[in-house]
Every structure is written in C-alpha cells, then in structure tokens.
Structure 1
Amino acid sequence: MSDTKSETWVTERLHDHYAQSLRADAVLYDSKTDHQRLKVLQNGTFGRILTLDDVVQTTEGDNFIYHEMLTHVPILAHGHAKRVLIIGGGDGGMAREALRHAAVEQVTMVEIDAGVVDFSKEYLPMLSQGAFDDPRLNLVIADGAAFMRDTEDKFDVIIVDSTDPIGPGEVLFSNSFYGHAARALSEDGIIVTQNGVPFMQGDELTGTLRAFQALFTDCSCYLATIPTYAGGPMAFGWGSHSKAAREVSQPVLEARFAAAGLTAEYYTPEVHKAAFALPGYVKKLFP
C-alpha cells in the first residue's frame, strides 16, 4: 500500500507489465490464514473488495457478472441439472447463483480454506445472500484436486471457481485434475472453468483447452467483461461429453430462463449465445 495525499491505494501486480490500483477508503479485514493473505477493502465504486495475496478475487459491485456467467450458462444449457459441484467459491457467490435454480437438488462446494468461508460470512454476506444456510448446499472443506481425484459421485455441472494458477490454485489447472473432472461428469455433463483474461494470460486458456480437447467431445470457451478483472474480457473454459448443450437454441434458452423464474443483472439468453462468439485473438489461442 502507498499513501498519497492521505489516500490509500492498493496495487495488484498479477501481470508482469501491467498493474491496476484501487483506492481503499477503508481496510475492513487483513489477516493471513494457513493458505493465503486475506483482505477486505472498501471502495467507492466497487463497494467491498476481497483480495487474496493482494490479487482481486471478487467485489460487491461487479461479482454478479462472474457468478451469473459461470452458473447460468452451463445450468441452462444443460437443461435438467440436478447435481452441481463447485470447486472453490468460498465467498458463497457461486453457490448463491447455482441455488437460485429450484431444479438443482444439491450443490457441493469444495473450498480448501475454511478461513475464506468464515470471514466471507461476516464481511461479505451480500455475496452469499444466505446460500450457506440452504439445506441443498453441501460444504466440504478440503483440497479441490484431492476431492476430484477421490470422488465417486457424478455431477451434471462442475464449476471450477479457482484463483489464478499460482499458489493453492495452481493444481486446479493441471491435466490430471481435468481428467478426474471428466470422469466425475454425468453422461451429458458440463464443466466450466475460470481461465483469466486471455489478452494477458493466453497460456492459461491454451493449456485448459489442450486438456479439454483430449477429454471431451465438445470444448470451447466463452467470454464476459468484468471491470475488476482488467485487461479485456475474461474467458471461461467449456467442456462436455455431448455437443448438444452448446448447440441449444436461443428460444429454448429463453423458455428455460423463464421457467426457472430467474432474475439476473448480466445474464440473458442473448448474452449466453453471444458469449461463444470469439474474437480472432482468442481463437488463435486454441491449440
């Protein structure tokens, strides 16, 4: 942190040649857990901001984009998802959106760090909005890679809500992890992954897609623009044992969206379909 004219700014240096700074009107939480350094900052534009090791993870202001696109896209594309697995997601935002689907019978959330869950309940309750109290949520405090390796359950949708591939999140980008995930998917299941900002982190997307090409009948990625994930649109990896889910028509998505009774701030069936239209520089990252 650096103080300039009594203002405190926090600078994220995730990328080698680019940084972003956010003004911290207040530091509400600052503590080191067994796995990482957690901070909650207050910002005039984004509200409360969660950082892990000084890298922005989610904000009160724009988290809805990330969470809606990683849940509603695969769940509505699937059409009859009953069992959802979230790897990571300790702030509860992903569970919040997945549980808005009444047809989903169980959401299993595997978070490595109990400290993230505990402080999120206290300092970021607007993200989970009661998700931790939903009886359909099965919260497992464990290493996500080990859980995926050992589970014998089948899931209709797997959401990898990981940090960037550094520190505890690195193993969630490995070929062995994706292989175990492919085995844990139901016959027409879908896996979606956080793959960073491809303009800045192209190798991350290429690595995931290379693994997906070997494991799935259908693989691609889709995009969404999230202000605090700076450097262009964010990519979400997509893998499925069936091509049918990505080919679902917009009218069918509209019917499913209406039937689910969802309200969303970013997701629409039109955005769903358009998100798979990729610019040239992203297409070039496909192996």
Structure 2
Amino acid sequence: MVDIDEELVAICQKYLPEWSAGAFDDPRSKLIITDARQFLERNEEKYDVIISDLTEPVSGGPSVYLFTKEFFELVKRRLTPEGVWVLQAGSADEKFSQFMSSLVKTLESVFPVVRPYWSFILSFSLPWGFICASLKPDPLSLSAEEIKDRLEARQVKGLRFYYPGLHHGLFALPRYLLENFKRGRLLTDDNPFIWTL
C-alpha cells in the first residue's frame, strides 16, 4: 500500500482496525509512505493489480496529478500484460458526473479496455463511480459461474456486498451517464480536473 499521509494511516490503524481486516499484519503486505506518482516513477516493478482509492482532485490537494493522461500512462507501464487497474471515479450522480466522464475519456485514450461501473454508497448518499482499466482482461467477459468458481478456488468468504449474480449489474449504467461520458474531456498535467469548492 502506498499512501502519502502517514498520520492518517496510523489513525486508521488505531481507530478503524476492522476496515483493514488485519491487512497491515499480513506478511505479504507492505506499507510505503510516499507520493503515489513518485513511487511509480521510481519503481520499475510490474503489478497484476493496482487499486487507486484517492481523494478528489481539489485545488492544492495531493491527488490532482493522479487523474491525468500522463499518470494513466505511467500506471499502464507498471501493469503486467494481464494486469488490471481499478480506481474510484467520484460521483455518478447525474449533476456531478463530469469528473467520472472525463476519467472515462482519458482512460480510453490510454487503455484498450475501460469499463466504468457504479454502486450506491450509503455514507455518501450518492451513486459512486468506479472504473476498471486494462491492457487485455475484460470484467464483462466473465460469467457468473466463472466468478463463482474463482471465488471458491480462492476461498473467498464473508463478502457482504459482492456476489457473482451482481457482477454484470454493476456495469449496467443509466442512460444519463452514458450520455455524459460523451462530454468528458481529456485530462492532462497541463489541463487537470480540479473540483472548485
């Protein structure tokens, strides 16, 4: 795990241990406190999965340049040929989905497979967007039976939300999002998306 905020990580470890479910104590995990972009620029290692759960790109915030074509190209170079990148994409609400729409457009300029999906996030009281991007694997190519078999083979238990029958439904997007995706803009280091408060 790469995170820029050591103090926040320590607070989460202390007060929200159930959220990490022991991940910090797992010998396979490694915590690196640094900027995510700098980490990928300095590290040539390839990854099967990269998950980005970043803050929104607000003026002066740490994540503005983690949502640009240049960063997406860097992530692409750090994925294995079968690697997958999943990122949160902000609000999927009709009025506030311009960020998600621009992420889709920008990712499509870098990755051959881009699959936006969504879910209602109770604590936000909003539908929230996510995007899966890859060089080859397509989450829509998996049947419910294949997903069930993979979960069983990996002995995944205790899921409270996700199950094989839900998988394809997450990628079924409302018409307003599909229309909004057409209006997204290309995000670059010179022209990033910044939410104004």
TM range (shorter): 0.7 to 0.9
Instruction: Provide the aligned length of Structure 1 versus Structure 2.
Output: 178
Structure 1 runs of 4+ off > 4 angstroms? none
Query: Are the equivalent residues in 1 in contact too, given 2:91–2:129 (CA < 8 A)?
Result: yes
Query: Are the equivalent residues in 2 in contact too, given 1:161–1:193 (CA < 8 A)?
Result: yes
Return the offset for 1:221.
0.5
1:217 aligns with 2:125: no
Name whichever structure is richer in strand by fraction.
1
Percent of aligned positions with the same letter in both sequences?
33
Return the offset for 1:244.
4.0
The within-5 A match list for 1:1-287 is: 109-166=1-58, 167-199=61-93, 200-231=95-126, 233-262=127-156, 263-287=158-182
Letter in 1 for 2:130: F
TM-score of the two chains, using structure 2 as the length reference = 0.85
Query: Are the equivalent residues in 1 in contact too, given 2:84–2:137 (CA < 8 A)?
Result: no
Return the offset for 1:169.
2.1
Distance in 2, matches of 1:280 and 1:244, equals 21
Letter in 2 for 1:140: I
| Two-structure CA RMSD over aligned residues (Å) | 1.4
Query: Are the equivalent residues in 1 in contact too, given 2:92–2:118 (CA < 8 A)?
Result: no
Distance in 2, matches of 1:115 and 1:160, equals 19
Change (3 A) 1:137 1:209: same
Query: Are the equivalent residues in 1 in contact too, given 2:69–2:110 (CA < 8 A)?
Result: no
Query: Are the equivalent residues in 2 in contact too, given 1:221–1:235 (CA < 8 A)?
Result: yes
* Structure 1 residues 1-48: Cα deviation after superposition (integer angstroms, max 9, x where no partner): xxxxxxxxxxxxxxxxxxxxxxxxxxxxxxxxxxxxxxxxxxxxxxxx
* Structure 1 residues 60-99: Cα deviation after superposition (integer angstroms, max 9, x where no partner): xxxxxxxxxxxxxxxxxxxxxxxxxxxxxxxxxxxxxxxx
Q: Flag the structure with larger Rg.
A: 1
* Structure 1 residues 136-169: Cα deviation after superposition (integer angstroms, max 9, x where no partner): 0011100011112222011111111101112112
Return the offset for 1:285.
2.3
Query: Are the equivalent residues in 2 in contact too, given 1:149–1:177 (CA < 8 A)?
Result: no
Gaps of 5+ in 1: 1-108
Letter in 2 for 1:255: D
Query: Are the equivalent residues in 2 in contact too, given 1:156–1:190 (CA < 8 A)?
Result: yes
Return the offset for 1:126.
1.7
Name whichever structure is richer in helix by fraction.
2
* Structure 1 residues 165-187: Cα deviation after superposition (integer angstroms, max 9, x where no partner): 12112222122111100111110
Distance in 1, matches of 2:162 and 2:15, equals 26
Change (3 A) 1:244 1:195: closer
Return the offset for 1:243.
4.6
Three-state SS of the structure 2 residue aligned to 1:181 is helix
Distance in 2, matches of 1:254 and 1:178, equals 31
Three-state SS of the structure 2 residue aligned to 1:242 is coil
Gaps of 5+ in 2: 183-197
Return the offset for 1:201.
2.8
* Structure 1 residues 240-280: Cα deviation after superposition (integer angstroms, max 9, x where no partner): 11154431111101111122222200010111121011110
TM-score of the two chains, using structure 1 as the length reference = 0.59
Letter in 2 for 1:149: E
Distance in 2, matches of 1:110 and 1:172, equals 13
Three-state SS of the structure 2 residue aligned to 1:164 is coil
**Residue aligning to 2:185:** none
